[in-house]
Amino acid sequence: MTEDGVTPKAVGLFVGCGGLDAGFAAAGFDVVLACDHWDPAAETYRANFPETRFMNRDVRELSEADVIDELAETGHTPDDIDVVIGGPPCQGFSRLNNEQIELDEMEKDGRNTLFEEFLRVVDYLQPDLVLMENVRDLINRETSDGRLVKDLIVEEFNEHGYACEYAVLEAQNYGVPQKRKRIFFLGTNRNVPIRFPTQSHDEPNWATAGEALDGVTDDLPNMRYPNTREKTLEKIRHVPPGGYYRDLPDRLKTKKYTCECEDTDECPHEPEIVKRYGTYLRRLDPDEPSLTVSNNPFIHPEEDRYITPREKARLQTFPDEFEFMGTKTDVEQQIGNAVPVELARTIAERLLEYYPDISDADEREVETWTQSTITELS
């Protein structure tokens, strides 16, 4: 709610379990309608947003009539919607091994063009502001004809009547105890400046993993401890805070034979130590923000065990009462995919500053435009 008592209305698309929506709700937006078609995430969303009308639908199948009819069930019309928010999946961008994407390859992986479906629904609602988030890797991706994908997205916003700018935000700079980069596209069809939130935290004042995990109790939802084998636990005990597989004694590292001997019992060669990278056997440093939360396990900073889904949710700044539904794998995926709630709240509070004046601003004339430099608010 604004200082003038106005409660802007939002619609969420590709909401997942609702990290972005939770942040907007915490800032004072009324998220009246939401949509996602992954059943476990839908169950989680419904459980935590009982006042929001939820469409368990594939956005690609939504017609204008569908959206207007669902909105009518909330007592609203498109004229009431101020903001559309969401994160259409583009995993195809983050898993590619090279910088170039053939245009036909983009079309083959439908996840890479879901932003067009997102903007198609925006057309039905015509909000003042549109916020779309995605993987940071997208910022470097080029099509085979040399165009940056992010610029194609900006052009698509333009085609739909929205001037648009983008920025890469680093979660640890906004009070999140986690190092996580995401790209955000902010568009408006009004003659107002586009403003991203200013950084609120810097090193050494980042929130830390140790602070986030302090006070976790077994009675909290999703406090499910992993069933870890003794062999793995022995390795875990040797990993120091902030360390990982590399810090194990050689006797505990994975080994394999690289020779061509068929009988390893008679083989005169010694097996070689297998190198591991990334998050494998990674223990969190209690005095630093966590690395990016995904469905990969982290070792607790002080205890010899992997952290629980609830603890991962804390690193994503979900409130303790936010309960995730589904199997362990489903829950881990939902948490790993989410926008950190505190980062979403910070962005939402910035957008809240537009209201109520933005509704009286002139409509913006959009010209084809490409942002010349990468904005990384770090």
- Residues with catalytic annotation? 90
**Contact, 265 vs 332, CB < 8 A?**
no
Q: List, in sequence order, every beta strand (DSSP E) within 124-229.
A: 129-135, 142-143, 163-170, 181-188
Q: Which helix (H) or strand (E) holds 313?
A: helix 309-315
Q: What is the dihedral of CA 246, 303, 176, 186, to 10 degrees?
A: 60
Q: What is the DSSP string of 22-36?
A: HHHHHHT-EEEEEE-
- CA dist., res. 193 & res. 353, Å (int): 12
The sign of the CA dihedral 59, 61, 65, 69 is: negative
Token pair recorded at residue 162: 């929205």
> Is beta strand 30-35 parallel, antiparallel or unpaired with respect to 9-13?
parallel
Looking at the DSSP bridge assignments, the partners of residue 287 are none
Token pair recorded at residue 69: 């009819």
Q: What is residue 182's three-state secondary structure?
A: strand
**Cβ within 8 Å of residue 9, ≥6 positions away:** 29, 30, 31, 32, 76, 80, 81, 82, 83
- CA dist., res. 92 & res. 106, Å (int): 8
H-helix segments, 79-208: 91-94, 103-108, 114-125, 149-159
Token pair recorded at residue 144: 């085979």
**Contact, 172 vs 195, CB < 8 A?**
no
| Chain centroid offset of residue 373 CA | 23
Token pair recorded at residue 79: 């004229």
